[in-house]
Chains A and B, each alone.
Chain A
Protein backbone atom coordinates (compact mmCIF):
# COMPACT_ATOMS: atom_id res chain seq x y z
CA UNK A 1 0.00 0.00 0.00
CA UNK A 2 1.23 3.44 -0.83
CA UNK A 3 0.97 5.02 2.58
CA UNK A 4 2.86 4.78 5.83
CA UNK A 5 1.26 4.51 9.22
CA UNK A 6 2.17 7.37 11.53
CA UNK A 7 1.89 8.05 15.26
CA UNK A 8 -1.34 7.90 17.26
CA UNK A 9 -4.00 10.30 16.04
CA UNK A 10 -6.71 9.09 18.43
CA UNK A 11 -6.15 7.85 21.97
CA UNK A 12 -9.00 6.51 24.05
CA UNK A 13 -8.15 6.09 27.74
CA UNK A 14 -10.17 4.33 30.39
CA UNK A 15 -13.60 5.08 28.96
CA UNK A 16 -16.47 3.92 31.13
CA UNK A 17 -20.02 4.46 29.99
CA UNK A 18 -23.33 3.32 31.43
CA UNK A 19 -26.99 4.08 30.86
CA UNK A 20 -28.98 3.96 34.04
CA UNK A 21 -27.94 0.61 35.42
CA UNK A 22 -26.64 -0.87 32.20
CA UNK A 23 -22.88 -0.78 31.70
CA UNK A 24 -21.96 -0.33 28.06
CA UNK A 25 -18.22 0.21 28.30
CA UNK A 26 -15.80 -0.51 31.09
CA UNK A 27 -12.36 1.07 31.24
CA UNK A 28 -11.73 0.70 27.52
CA UNK A 29 -8.43 2.02 26.22
CA UNK A 30 -7.04 1.80 22.75
CA UNK A 31 -5.32 3.95 20.17
CA UNK A 32 -5.53 4.55 16.45
CA UNK A 33 -2.49 5.47 14.42
CA UNK A 34 -2.58 7.97 11.64
CA UNK A 35 -3.35 6.55 8.19
CA UNK A 36 -4.13 3.09 9.49
CA UNK A 37 -7.25 1.00 9.13
CA UNK A 38 -8.31 -0.13 12.60
CA UNK A 39 -11.06 -2.66 13.12
CA UNK A 40 -13.19 -3.12 16.22
CA UNK A 41 -14.86 -6.47 16.48
CA UNK A 42 -16.77 -8.40 19.07
CA UNK A 43 -20.05 -10.22 19.67
CA UNK A 44 -23.31 -8.32 19.52
CA UNK A 45 -23.89 -5.99 22.40
CA UNK A 46 -20.20 -5.73 23.18
CA UNK A 47 -20.31 -1.96 23.08
CA UNK A 48 -18.68 -1.30 19.73
CA UNK A 49 -21.21 1.28 18.50
CA UNK A 50 -21.20 2.92 21.91
CA UNK A 51 -17.46 3.37 21.62
CA UNK A 52 -17.84 5.12 18.29
CA UNK A 53 -20.59 7.27 19.76
CA UNK A 54 -18.24 8.36 22.51
CA UNK A 55 -15.54 9.24 20.01
CA UNK A 56 -17.79 11.47 17.99
CA UNK A 57 -19.60 13.01 20.89
CA UNK A 58 -23.10 11.52 21.00
CA UNK A 59 -22.51 9.75 24.28
CA UNK A 60 -20.67 11.35 27.14
CA UNK A 61 -18.74 8.82 29.19
CA UNK A 62 -18.78 8.94 32.96
CA UNK A 63 -15.06 8.35 33.12
CA UNK A 64 -12.04 8.46 30.88
CA UNK A 65 -10.84 10.72 28.13
CA UNK A 66 -10.39 10.87 24.39
CA UNK A 67 -7.45 12.58 22.70
CA UNK A 68 -7.75 13.54 19.09
CA UNK A 69 -4.74 15.08 17.35
CA UNK A 70 -3.24 15.78 20.75
CA UNK A 71 -6.26 17.61 22.19
CA UNK A 72 -7.59 15.76 25.22
CA UNK A 73 -11.19 15.96 26.34
CA UNK A 74 -13.90 13.86 27.92
CA UNK A 75 -17.00 15.35 26.43
CA UNK A 76 -17.38 16.89 23.06
CA UNK A 77 -20.39 17.96 21.04
CA UNK A 78 -21.05 16.11 17.81
CA UNK A 79 -20.64 19.19 15.70
CA UNK A 80 -17.33 19.99 17.39
CA UNK A 81 -16.15 16.52 16.55
CA UNK A 82 -17.14 17.25 12.96
CA UNK A 83 -15.17 20.49 13.05
CA UNK A 84 -12.12 18.63 14.28
CA UNK A 85 -12.32 16.30 11.30
CA UNK A 86 -14.21 13.23 12.48
CA UNK A 87 -16.93 11.78 10.27
CA UNK A 88 -18.99 8.64 10.66
CA UNK A 89 -21.58 6.34 9.23
CA UNK A 90 -24.23 4.38 11.07
CA UNK A 91 -25.40 0.83 11.36
CA UNK A 92 -28.97 1.82 10.61
CA UNK A 93 -28.21 4.43 7.98
CA UNK A 94 -28.63 8.03 9.01
CA UNK A 95 -29.39 9.60 5.66
CA UNK A 96 -31.78 12.49 5.12
CA UNK A 97 -34.63 10.60 3.55
CA UNK A 98 -36.46 13.59 2.18
CA UNK A 99 -33.49 14.61 0.04
CA UNK A 100 -31.79 13.27 -3.04
CA UNK A 101 -28.44 11.49 -2.95
CA UNK A 102 -26.76 14.57 -4.37
CA UNK A 103 -28.30 16.82 -1.73
CA UNK A 104 -27.25 14.44 1.02
CA UNK A 105 -23.67 14.68 -0.15
CA UNK A 106 -23.91 18.44 -0.55
CA UNK A 107 -25.12 18.63 3.05
CA UNK A 108 -21.85 17.02 4.01
CA UNK A 109 -20.14 20.15 2.72
CA UNK A 110 -22.08 22.31 5.21
CA UNK A 111 -19.05 23.07 7.35
CA UNK A 112 -17.04 24.13 4.35
CA UNK A 113 -19.60 26.51 2.91
CA UNK A 114 -19.13 29.97 4.18
CA UNK A 115 -21.51 32.24 2.32
CA UNK A 116 -23.77 34.29 4.53
CA UNK A 117 -27.53 34.64 4.68
CA UNK A 118 -27.86 37.67 2.45
CA UNK A 119 -25.62 36.14 -0.17
CA UNK A 120 -27.74 33.00 -0.09
CA UNK A 121 -30.91 35.04 -0.45
CA UNK A 122 -29.58 36.74 -3.55
CA UNK A 123 -27.89 33.61 -4.89
CA UNK A 124 -26.39 35.25 -7.98
CA UNK A 125 -22.75 35.92 -7.29
CA UNK A 126 -20.94 34.61 -4.25
CA UNK A 127 -23.46 31.98 -3.18
CA UNK A 128 -23.78 30.45 -6.61
CA UNK A 129 -20.03 30.37 -7.12
CA UNK A 130 -19.59 28.56 -3.85
CA UNK A 131 -22.42 26.17 -4.62
CA UNK A 132 -20.86 25.23 -7.95
CA UNK A 133 -17.41 24.87 -6.45
CA UNK A 134 -18.69 22.41 -3.89
CA UNK A 135 -20.85 20.70 -6.46
CA UNK A 136 -17.72 19.97 -8.44
CA UNK A 137 -16.01 18.46 -5.39
CA UNK A 138 -19.05 16.38 -4.57
CA UNK A 139 -19.25 15.12 -8.13
CA UNK A 140 -15.71 13.79 -7.76
CA UNK A 141 -16.92 11.72 -4.83
CA UNK A 142 -19.96 10.63 -6.83
CA UNK A 143 -17.68 9.46 -9.62
CA UNK A 144 -15.44 7.68 -7.16
CA UNK A 145 -18.33 5.80 -5.59
CA UNK A 146 -19.99 5.14 -8.95
CA UNK A 147 -23.37 6.54 -7.95
CA UNK A 148 -23.89 8.95 -10.83
CA UNK A 149 -27.08 7.26 -11.94
CA UNK A 150 -28.86 7.81 -8.66
CA UNK A 151 -27.75 11.30 -7.79
CA UNK A 152 -31.23 12.79 -8.22
CA UNK A 153 -33.10 9.90 -6.57
CA UNK A 154 -34.58 10.53 -3.13
CA UNK A 155 -32.53 8.28 -0.90
CA UNK A 156 -35.59 6.77 0.75
CA UNK A 157 -36.20 4.92 -2.50
CA UNK A 158 -32.74 3.45 -2.91
CA UNK A 159 -31.89 -0.14 -2.14
CA UNK A 160 -30.02 -0.75 1.08
CA UNK A 161 -26.59 -1.28 -0.47
CA UNK A 162 -26.74 1.99 -2.41
CA UNK A 163 -27.94 3.87 0.65
CA UNK A 164 -24.87 2.69 2.49
CA UNK A 165 -22.73 3.95 -0.35
CA UNK A 166 -24.43 7.34 -0.31
CA UNK A 167 -23.87 7.54 3.42
CA UNK A 168 -20.19 6.83 2.89
CA UNK A 169 -20.20 9.55 0.25
CA UNK A 170 -21.67 12.06 2.64
CA UNK A 171 -19.02 11.23 5.22
CA UNK A 172 -16.31 11.60 2.58
CA UNK A 173 -17.76 14.96 1.54
CA UNK A 174 -16.70 16.25 4.94
CA UNK A 175 -13.05 15.53 3.96
CA UNK A 176 -12.44 14.00 7.37
CA UNK A 177 -9.14 12.99 8.90
CA UNK A 178 -10.76 10.21 10.87
CA UNK A 179 -13.58 8.15 9.44
CA UNK A 180 -15.67 5.97 11.72
CA UNK A 181 -17.60 3.27 9.87
CA UNK A 182 -20.23 1.31 11.76
CA UNK A 183 -20.82 -1.98 9.96
CA UNK A 184 -20.47 -0.57 6.46
CA UNK A 185 -20.96 -3.98 4.86
CA UNK A 186 -23.98 -5.12 6.84
CA UNK A 187 -26.68 -6.58 4.66
CA UNK A 188 -24.64 -6.53 1.49
CA UNK A 189 -24.05 -9.36 -0.97
CA UNK A 190 -20.61 -10.51 -2.04
CA UNK A 191 -20.25 -8.09 -4.95
CA UNK A 192 -21.39 -5.10 -2.94
CA UNK A 193 -18.95 -6.04 -0.22
CA UNK A 194 -16.11 -6.23 -2.70
CA UNK A 195 -16.99 -2.78 -4.01
CA UNK A 196 -17.17 -1.38 -0.49
CA UNK A 197 -13.80 -2.89 0.40
CA UNK A 198 -12.32 -1.35 -2.70
CA UNK A 199 -13.71 2.07 -1.78
CA UNK A 200 -12.44 1.86 1.78
CA UNK A 201 -8.99 0.83 0.67
CA UNK A 202 -8.82 3.58 -1.93
CA UNK A 203 -9.95 6.23 0.52
CA UNK A 204 -7.28 5.13 2.93
CA UNK A 205 -4.63 4.78 0.26
CA UNK A 206 -5.20 7.90 -1.82
CA UNK A 207 -6.57 10.37 0.70
CA UNK A 208 -4.67 9.05 3.69
CA UNK A 209 -7.83 9.02 5.80
CA UNK A 210 -7.53 7.11 9.06
CA UNK A 211 -10.32 4.60 9.30
CA UNK A 212 -11.91 2.90 12.29
CA UNK A 213 -14.29 0.21 11.27
CA UNK A 214 -16.76 -2.02 13.06
CA UNK A 215 -17.38 -5.18 11.13
CA UNK A 216 -18.69 -8.69 11.60
CA UNK A 217 -17.40 -10.31 8.46
CA UNK A 218 -14.10 -11.82 9.58
CA UNK A 219 -12.59 -12.19 6.13
CA UNK A 220 -13.14 -8.50 5.49
CA UNK A 221 -11.57 -7.61 8.81
CA UNK A 222 -8.55 -9.80 8.19
CA UNK A 223 -8.00 -8.46 4.70
CA UNK A 224 -8.54 -4.77 5.31
CA UNK A 225 -7.24 -3.90 8.72
CA UNK A 226 -3.81 -3.13 10.04
CA UNK A 227 -4.77 -3.73 13.64
CA UNK A 228 -7.81 -5.11 15.41
CA UNK A 229 -9.32 -4.46 18.85
CA UNK A 230 -11.77 -6.93 20.31
CA UNK A 231 -14.56 -5.95 22.71
CA UNK A 232 -16.72 -8.25 24.78
CA UNK A 233 -19.28 -7.19 27.40
CA UNK A 234 -17.92 -3.65 27.30
CA UNK A 235 -14.31 -4.58 27.91
CA UNK A 236 -11.37 -4.83 25.56
CA UNK A 237 -10.13 -8.38 25.55
CA UNK A 238 -7.56 -8.35 22.78
CA UNK A 239 -5.62 -5.90 20.66
CA UNK A 240 -3.12 -6.54 17.89
CA UNK A 241 -2.65 -7.49 14.26
CA UNK A 242 -5.36 -9.61 12.64
CA UNK A 243 -3.20 -12.70 12.87
CA UNK A 244 -2.49 -12.23 16.58
CA UNK A 245 -6.11 -11.60 17.40
CA UNK A 246 -7.41 -14.55 15.43
CA UNK A 247 -5.33 -16.95 17.43
CA UNK A 248 -6.04 -15.33 20.81
CA UNK A 249 -7.86 -17.81 23.08
CA UNK A 250 -9.91 -15.16 24.84
CA UNK A 251 -11.29 -14.01 21.49
CA UNK A 252 -12.19 -17.53 20.44
CA UNK A 253 -13.95 -18.07 23.76
CA UNK A 254 -15.90 -14.84 23.43
CA UNK A 255 -17.20 -15.75 20.02
CA UNK A 256 -18.01 -19.31 20.93
CA UNK A 257 -19.82 -18.12 24.02
CA UNK A 258 -17.72 -19.94 26.57
CA UNK A 259 -18.88 -18.97 30.06
CA UNK A 260 -16.47 -16.82 32.00
Chain B
Protein backbone atom coordinates (compact mmCIF):
# COMPACT_ATOMS: atom_id res chain seq x y z
CA UNK B 1 0.00 0.00 0.00
CA UNK B 2 2.73 2.41 0.95
CA UNK B 3 4.39 1.50 -2.30
CA UNK B 4 1.31 2.70 -4.11
CA UNK B 5 1.08 5.91 -2.13
CA UNK B 6 4.77 6.53 -2.61
CA UNK B 7 4.34 5.92 -6.31
CA UNK B 8 1.54 8.46 -6.57
CA UNK B 9 2.59 11.25 -4.28
CA UNK B 10 6.36 11.16 -3.87
CA UNK B 11 8.16 9.33 -6.61
CA UNK B 12 6.96 11.32 -9.63
CA UNK B 13 7.99 14.61 -8.05
CA UNK B 14 11.33 13.16 -7.10
CA UNK B 15 11.83 12.17 -10.69
CA UNK B 16 10.83 15.62 -11.85
CA UNK B 17 13.34 17.21 -9.52
CA UNK B 18 16.27 14.95 -10.24
CA UNK B 19 16.02 15.13 -14.02
CA UNK B 20 14.97 18.68 -14.82
CA UNK B 21 15.87 18.35 -18.47
CA UNK B 22 13.38 15.50 -18.79
CA UNK B 23 10.85 17.69 -17.03
CA UNK B 24 11.31 20.41 -19.61
CA UNK B 25 11.16 17.84 -22.41
CA UNK B 26 7.88 16.48 -21.11
CA UNK B 27 6.58 19.99 -20.70
CA UNK B 28 7.50 20.86 -24.27
CA UNK B 29 5.98 17.69 -25.70
CA UNK B 30 2.82 18.31 -23.74
CA UNK B 31 2.72 21.82 -25.11
CA UNK B 32 3.25 20.61 -28.66
CA UNK B 33 0.43 18.07 -28.57
CA UNK B 34 -1.68 20.51 -26.57
CA UNK B 35 -1.40 23.05 -29.36
CA UNK B 36 -2.71 20.52 -31.83
CA UNK B 37 -5.63 19.66 -29.56
CA UNK B 38 -6.31 23.38 -29.36
CA UNK B 39 -6.47 23.64 -33.11
CA UNK B 40 -9.09 20.93 -33.29
CA UNK B 41 -10.98 22.57 -30.46
CA UNK B 42 -10.73 25.88 -32.27
CA UNK B 43 -12.71 24.46 -35.16
CA UNK B 44 -15.43 23.33 -32.73
CA UNK B 45 -15.51 26.70 -31.06
CA UNK B 46 -15.90 28.56 -34.33
CA UNK B 47 -18.91 26.57 -35.37
CA UNK B 48 -20.46 26.42 -31.94
CA UNK B 49 -20.03 30.14 -31.40
CA UNK B 50 -21.81 31.03 -34.59
CA UNK B 51 -24.44 28.36 -34.97
CA UNK B 52 -24.84 26.67 -31.62
CA UNK B 53 -24.07 23.37 -33.32
CA UNK B 54 -21.57 21.05 -31.75
CA UNK B 55 -19.85 19.81 -34.88
CA UNK B 56 -18.91 16.26 -34.09
CA UNK B 57 -17.59 16.00 -37.64
CA UNK B 58 -14.70 18.38 -36.97
CA UNK B 59 -12.35 15.44 -36.46
CA UNK B 60 -13.23 13.81 -39.74
CA UNK B 61 -12.92 17.20 -41.45
CA UNK B 62 -9.32 17.26 -40.25
CA UNK B 63 -8.72 13.84 -41.78
CA UNK B 64 -10.70 14.52 -44.92
CA UNK B 65 -8.92 17.78 -45.68
CA UNK B 66 -5.51 16.22 -45.15
CA UNK B 67 -6.45 13.28 -47.33
CA UNK B 68 -7.64 15.57 -50.10
CA UNK B 69 -4.37 17.46 -50.01
CA UNK B 70 -2.23 14.35 -50.12
CA UNK B 71 -4.49 12.65 -52.60
CA UNK B 72 -4.31 15.54 -55.06
CA UNK B 73 -0.56 15.63 -54.74
CA UNK B 74 -0.35 11.90 -55.35
CA UNK B 75 -2.14 12.46 -58.62
CA UNK B 76 0.50 14.89 -59.74
CA UNK B 77 -0.86 18.23 -58.58
CA UNK B 78 1.97 20.45 -57.28
CA UNK B 79 1.92 21.01 -53.53
CA UNK B 80 0.81 24.64 -53.32
CA UNK B 81 -1.79 24.24 -56.02
CA UNK B 82 -3.09 21.19 -54.18
CA UNK B 83 -3.28 23.32 -51.07
CA UNK B 84 -5.31 25.96 -52.86
CA UNK B 85 -7.61 23.33 -54.35
CA UNK B 86 -8.13 21.72 -50.97
CA UNK B 87 -9.18 25.06 -49.57
CA UNK B 88 -11.71 25.30 -52.36
CA UNK B 89 -12.94 21.81 -51.52
CA UNK B 90 -13.47 22.88 -47.91
CA UNK B 91 -15.49 25.85 -49.16
CA UNK B 92 -17.64 23.55 -51.25
CA UNK B 93 -18.09 21.30 -48.23
CA UNK B 94 -19.15 24.25 -46.11
CA UNK B 95 -21.74 25.30 -48.68
CA UNK B 96 -23.03 21.74 -48.99
CA UNK B 97 -23.34 21.34 -45.23
CA UNK B 98 -25.24 24.59 -44.94
CA UNK B 99 -27.71 23.69 -47.65
CA UNK B 100 -28.25 20.03 -46.86
CA UNK B 101 -28.01 19.92 -43.08
CA UNK B 102 -28.24 23.32 -41.46
CA UNK B 103 -31.00 24.89 -43.45
CA UNK B 104 -33.56 22.09 -43.13
CA UNK B 105 -32.82 21.68 -39.44
CA UNK B 106 -32.74 25.34 -38.54
CA UNK B 107 -35.47 25.22 -35.88
CA UNK B 108 -34.71 21.90 -34.34
CA UNK B 109 -33.25 21.52 -30.86
CA UNK B 110 -29.48 21.41 -30.57
CA UNK B 111 -29.34 17.72 -29.82
CA UNK B 112 -30.84 16.95 -33.22
CA UNK B 113 -28.23 19.08 -34.97
CA UNK B 114 -25.54 17.38 -32.93
CA UNK B 115 -26.76 14.00 -34.07
CA UNK B 116 -26.86 15.24 -37.64
CA UNK B 117 -23.14 15.88 -37.38
CA UNK B 118 -22.76 12.23 -36.38
CA UNK B 119 -24.38 11.41 -39.68
CA UNK B 120 -22.03 13.79 -41.45
CA UNK B 121 -19.06 12.12 -39.77
CA UNK B 122 -19.98 8.68 -40.96
CA UNK B 123 -20.78 10.00 -44.38
CA UNK B 124 -17.37 11.61 -44.70
CA UNK B 125 -15.60 8.55 -43.32
CA UNK B 126 -17.25 6.37 -45.94
CA UNK B 127 -16.68 8.90 -48.69
CA UNK B 128 -13.06 9.45 -47.71
CA UNK B 129 -12.34 5.75 -47.69
CA UNK B 130 -14.07 5.25 -51.01
CA UNK B 131 -12.16 8.03 -52.73
CA UNK B 132 -8.78 7.79 -51.09
CA UNK B 133 -8.64 4.25 -49.78
CA UNK B 134 -8.27 3.28 -46.13
CA UNK B 135 -4.48 3.11 -45.88
CA UNK B 136 -2.51 5.66 -43.89
CA UNK B 137 -0.78 8.27 -46.00
CA UNK B 138 2.28 10.38 -45.58
CA UNK B 139 1.87 14.10 -45.32
CA UNK B 140 3.61 16.07 -48.04
CA UNK B 141 5.65 18.09 -45.61
CA UNK B 142 8.66 18.45 -47.87
CA UNK B 143 6.62 19.65 -50.81
CA UNK B 144 4.97 22.22 -48.60
CA UNK B 145 8.35 23.40 -47.40
CA UNK B 146 7.48 22.62 -43.81
CA UNK B 147 10.50 22.60 -41.51
CA UNK B 148 11.88 19.27 -40.46
CA UNK B 149 14.54 18.17 -38.11
CA UNK B 150 14.93 19.40 -34.59
CA UNK B 151 16.85 21.67 -32.27
CA UNK B 152 18.82 20.39 -29.35
CA UNK B 153 18.90 22.96 -26.62
CA UNK B 154 21.09 22.40 -23.62
CA UNK B 155 19.20 22.95 -20.39
CA UNK B 156 19.76 22.08 -16.75
CA UNK B 157 22.81 20.04 -17.51
CA UNK B 158 21.01 17.86 -20.01
CA UNK B 159 19.27 18.90 -23.18
CA UNK B 160 15.84 19.29 -24.68
CA UNK B 161 14.93 18.20 -28.17
CA UNK B 162 12.37 20.31 -29.97
CA UNK B 163 11.01 19.25 -33.32
CA UNK B 164 10.97 22.16 -35.71
CA UNK B 165 7.56 21.11 -36.98
CA UNK B 166 6.18 21.44 -33.46
CA UNK B 167 7.56 24.95 -33.19
CA UNK B 168 6.01 25.77 -36.55
CA UNK B 169 2.69 24.33 -35.42
CA UNK B 170 2.71 26.42 -32.27
CA UNK B 171 3.45 29.59 -34.21
CA UNK B 172 0.76 28.84 -36.76
CA UNK B 173 -1.77 28.07 -34.06
CA UNK B 174 -1.07 31.30 -32.25
CA UNK B 175 -1.33 33.21 -35.52
CA UNK B 176 -4.68 31.60 -36.26
CA UNK B 177 -6.01 32.38 -32.82
CA UNK B 178 -4.88 35.97 -33.08
CA UNK B 179 -6.43 36.34 -36.53
CA UNK B 180 -9.69 34.81 -35.43
CA UNK B 181 -9.82 36.86 -32.28
CA UNK B 182 -9.37 40.02 -34.30
CA UNK B 183 -11.92 38.82 -36.84
CA UNK B 184 -14.52 38.14 -34.19
CA UNK B 185 -14.06 41.25 -32.15
CA UNK B 186 -13.03 43.99 -34.52
CA UNK B 187 -14.77 43.41 -37.82
CA UNK B 188 -18.31 43.80 -39.07
CA UNK B 189 -18.49 40.14 -40.00
CA UNK B 190 -17.27 39.21 -36.56
CA UNK B 191 -20.05 41.19 -34.99
CA UNK B 192 -22.54 39.48 -37.22
CA UNK B 193 -21.09 36.11 -36.17
CA UNK B 194 -21.49 36.98 -32.52
CA UNK B 195 -25.04 38.16 -33.15
CA UNK B 196 -25.94 34.88 -34.80
CA UNK B 197 -24.41 32.97 -31.90
CA UNK B 198 -26.60 34.83 -29.46
CA UNK B 199 -29.94 34.57 -31.19
CA UNK B 200 -30.84 33.40 -34.67
CA UNK B 201 -34.15 35.21 -34.67
CA UNK B 202 -32.74 38.49 -33.54
CA UNK B 203 -29.94 38.29 -36.07
CA UNK B 204 -32.41 37.59 -38.85
CA UNK B 205 -34.53 40.52 -37.83
CA UNK B 206 -31.65 42.94 -38.26
CA UNK B 207 -31.01 41.60 -41.70
CA UNK B 208 -28.07 39.31 -41.13
CA UNK B 209 -28.09 36.43 -43.55
CA UNK B 210 -27.82 33.27 -41.51
CA UNK B 211 -26.86 31.23 -44.52
CA UNK B 212 -23.92 33.43 -45.40
CA UNK B 213 -22.66 33.49 -41.86
CA UNK B 214 -22.87 29.74 -41.54
CA UNK B 215 -21.00 29.14 -44.76
CA UNK B 216 -18.29 31.55 -43.64
CA UNK B 217 -17.97 29.90 -40.28
CA UNK B 218 -17.93 26.33 -41.56
CA UNK B 219 -15.41 27.36 -44.15
CA UNK B 220 -13.22 28.93 -41.50
CA UNK B 221 -13.53 25.77 -39.45
CA UNK B 222 -12.61 23.82 -42.55
CA UNK B 223 -9.45 25.87 -43.03
CA UNK B 224 -8.54 25.37 -39.39
CA UNK B 225 -9.18 21.67 -39.90
CA UNK B 226 -6.86 21.66 -42.88
CA UNK B 227 -4.10 23.38 -40.93
CA UNK B 228 -4.59 20.90 -38.13
CA UNK B 229 -4.51 18.01 -40.57
CA UNK B 230 -1.27 19.21 -42.09
CA UNK B 231 0.40 19.64 -38.72
CA UNK B 232 -0.85 16.35 -37.30
CA UNK B 233 -0.01 14.56 -40.51
CA UNK B 234 3.49 15.96 -40.49
CA UNK B 235 4.15 14.51 -37.04
CA UNK B 236 2.52 11.17 -37.65
CA UNK B 237 0.72 9.80 -40.66
CA UNK B 238 -2.66 10.76 -42.03
CA UNK B 239 -5.10 8.05 -41.20
CA UNK B 240 -8.63 7.59 -40.01
CA UNK B 241 -7.32 6.94 -36.51
CA UNK B 242 -6.99 10.69 -36.30
CA UNK B 243 -10.76 10.82 -36.10
CA UNK B 244 -10.71 9.27 -32.65
CA UNK B 245 -7.94 11.56 -31.50
CA UNK B 246 -10.23 14.41 -32.40
CA UNK B 247 -12.53 13.28 -29.62
CA UNK B 248 -9.82 14.54 -27.29
CA UNK B 249 -10.96 18.00 -28.24
CA UNK B 250 -13.94 17.45 -25.95
CA UNK B 251 -11.99 17.65 -22.71
CA UNK B 252 -10.27 20.71 -24.16
CA UNK B 253 -13.62 22.34 -24.78
CA UNK B 254 -14.85 21.48 -21.35
CA UNK B 255 -11.88 23.17 -19.78
CA UNK B 256 -11.74 26.10 -22.11
CA UNK B 257 -15.43 26.57 -22.67
CA UNK B 258 -17.33 25.96 -25.85
CA UNK B 259 -17.38 29.53 -27.01
CA UNK B 260 -14.03 30.95 -26.05
CA UNK B 261 -11.23 31.16 -28.61
CA UNK B 262 -8.47 31.87 -26.10
CA UNK B 263 -10.08 29.22 -23.95
CA UNK B 264 -9.46 26.64 -26.67
CA UNK B 265 -5.75 27.38 -26.57
CA UNK B 266 -5.48 27.39 -22.81
CA UNK B 267 -7.63 24.30 -22.47
CA UNK B 268 -5.62 22.51 -25.11
CA UNK B 269 -2.34 23.29 -23.39
CA UNK B 270 -3.64 22.17 -20.02
CA UNK B 271 -4.90 18.90 -21.44
CA UNK B 272 -1.79 18.31 -23.53
CA UNK B 273 0.59 18.98 -20.68
CA UNK B 274 -1.55 17.16 -18.14
CA UNK B 275 -1.77 14.13 -20.37
CA UNK B 276 1.97 13.98 -21.07
CA UNK B 277 2.85 14.44 -17.43
CA UNK B 278 0.36 11.82 -16.37
CA UNK B 279 1.59 9.39 -18.95
CA UNK B 280 5.27 9.90 -18.23
CA UNK B 281 5.37 10.19 -14.47
CA UNK B 282 2.34 8.23 -13.32
CA UNK B 283 1.92 5.96 -16.31
CA UNK B 284 4.44 3.30 -15.27
CA UNK B 285 2.49 2.90 -12.04
CA UNK B 286 -0.79 2.09 -13.74
CA UNK B 287 0.36 0.52 -16.94
CA UNK B 288 0.90 1.95 -20.35
CA UNK B 289 -1.71 3.55 -22.52
CA UNK B 290 -3.43 5.66 -19.89
CA UNK B 291 -3.37 8.58 -22.30
CA UNK B 292 -6.35 7.00 -24.00
CA UNK B 293 -8.58 8.00 -21.11
CA UNK B 294 -6.60 10.40 -18.90
CA UNK B 295 -7.74 13.52 -20.72
CA UNK B 296 -11.40 12.60 -20.24
CA UNK B 297 -10.95 11.85 -16.57
CA UNK B 298 -9.15 15.17 -16.08
CA UNK B 299 -12.08 16.91 -17.74
CA UNK B 300 -14.56 14.91 -15.69
CA UNK B 301 -12.90 15.78 -12.39
CA UNK B 302 -12.83 19.36 -13.49
CA UNK B 303 -16.52 19.33 -14.31
CA UNK B 304 -17.37 18.04 -10.89
CA UNK B 305 -15.94 21.16 -9.34
CA UNK B 306 -16.94 23.63 -11.97
CA UNK B 307 -19.83 22.28 -14.03
CA UNK B 308 -19.67 25.12 -16.52
CA UNK B 309 -16.00 24.78 -17.47
CA UNK B 310 -13.22 27.31 -16.96
CA UNK B 311 -14.52 29.99 -19.23
CA UNK B 312 -18.13 29.06 -19.47
CA UNK B 313 -20.91 31.19 -18.06
CA UNK B 314 -22.91 30.07 -15.09
CA UNK B 315 -26.33 29.32 -16.35
CA UNK B 316 -28.96 30.69 -14.03
CA UNK B 317 -32.18 28.98 -14.86
CA UNK B 318 -35.07 31.36 -14.83
CA UNK B 319 -38.52 29.97 -14.47
CA distance A53 to B317 in the complex (A): 12
Across-interface contacts of B319 in A (CB, < 8 A) = 49, 53, 58, 90-92, 94
CA distance A191 to B18 in the complex (A): 84
- Is A124 an interface residue when CB atoms closer than 8 A count as contact? no
- Is A19 an interface residue when CB atoms closer than 8 A count as contact? yes
- Is B316 an interface residue when CB atoms closer than 8 A count as contact? yes
Near A by CB (< 8 A), chain B positions 265-319 give 316, 319
Complex interface bits, A156-176 against B, C-beta within 8 A gives 1, otherwise 0: 000000000000000000000
Which among A19, A90, A91, A94 is the interface contact of B316 at CB below 8 angstroms? Answer: A19
CA distance A92 to B316 in the complex (A): 16
Across-interface contacts of A91 in B (CB, < 8 A) = 319
Complex interface bits, A35-50 against B, C-beta within 8 A gives 1, otherwise 0: 0000000000000010
> How close is B194's CB to chain A, nearest CB, in angstroms?
22
Near B by CB (< 8 A), chain A positions 93-145 give 94
B interface, over-half SS: loop
Across-interface contacts of A53 in B (CB, < 8 A) = 319
Chain B's closest residue to A90 (CB) is: B319
Smallest CB-CB A-B distances: 8 pairs: A53-B319, A58-B319, A90-B319, A19-B316, A49-B319, A94-B319, A92-B319, A91-B319
Across-interface contacts of B316 in A (CB, < 8 A) = 19
CA distance A239 to B319 in the complex (A): 25
Across-interface contacts of A58 in B (CB, < 8 A) = 319
> How close is A49's CB to chain B, nearest CB, in angstroms?
7
> How close is B206's CB to chain A, nearest CB, in angstroms?
25
Chain A's closest residue to B317 (CB) is: A58
CA distance A19 to B318 in the complex (A): 11
> How close is B109's CB to chain A, nearest CB, in angstroms?
11
Chain B's closest residue to A92 (CB) is: B319
CA distance A91 to B319 in the complex (A): 8
Complex interface bits, A177-221 against B, C-beta within 8 A gives 1, otherwise 0: 000000000000000000000000000000000000000000000
CA distance A92 to B319 in the complex (A): 8
CA distance A94 to B317 in the complex (A): 13
CA distance A19 to B316 in the complex (A): 9
Given A49-B319, A53-B319, A90-B319, 5 more A-B residue pairs with CB atoms under 8 Å apart are: A19-B316, A58-B319, A91-B319, A92-B319, A94-B319
> How close is A206's CB to chain B, nearest CB, in angstroms?
29
Across-interface contacts of A90 in B (CB, < 8 A) = 319
Chain B's closest residue to A94 (CB) is: B319
CA distance A94 to B318 in the complex (A): 12
CA distance A58 to B317 in the complex (A): 10
Complex interface bits, A17-58 against B, C-beta within 8 A gives 1, otherwise 0: 001000000000000000000000000000001000100001
Across-interface contacts of A92 in B (CB, < 8 A) = 319
CA distance A90 to B319 in the complex (A): 8
CA distance A205 to B268 in the complex (A): 63
Complex interface bits, B7-30 against A, C-beta within 8 A gives 1, otherwise 0: 000000000000000000000000
CA distance A18 to B316 in the complex (A): 12
Chain B's closest residue to A58 (CB) is: B319
> How close is B12's CB to chain A, nearest CB, in angstroms?
41
> How close is A123's CB to chain B, nearest CB, in angstroms?
31
CA distance A90 to B318 in the complex (A): 11
CA distance A49 to B319 in the complex (A): 8
CA distance A19 to B319 in the complex (A): 14
CA distance A94 to B319 in the complex (A): 9
> How close is A191's CB to chain B, nearest CB, in angstroms?
28
CA distance A53 to B316 in the complex (A): 14
Chain A's closest residue to B314 (CB) is: A20
> How close is B57's CB to chain A, nearest CB, in angstroms?
27
CA distance A62 to B319 in the complex (A): 19
> How close is B319's CB to chain A, nearest CB, in angstroms?
6
Complex interface bits, B59-77 against A, C-beta within 8 A gives 1, otherwise 0: 0000000000000000000
Across-interface contacts of A94 in B (CB, < 8 A) = 319
What are 8 sample pairs from A and B whose C-beta atoms fall under 8 A apart?
A: A19-B316, A49-B319, A53-B319, A58-B319, A90-B319, A91-B319, A92-B319, A94-B319
> How close is A136's CB to chain B, nearest CB, in angstroms?
32
Chain B's closest residue to A53 (CB) is: B319
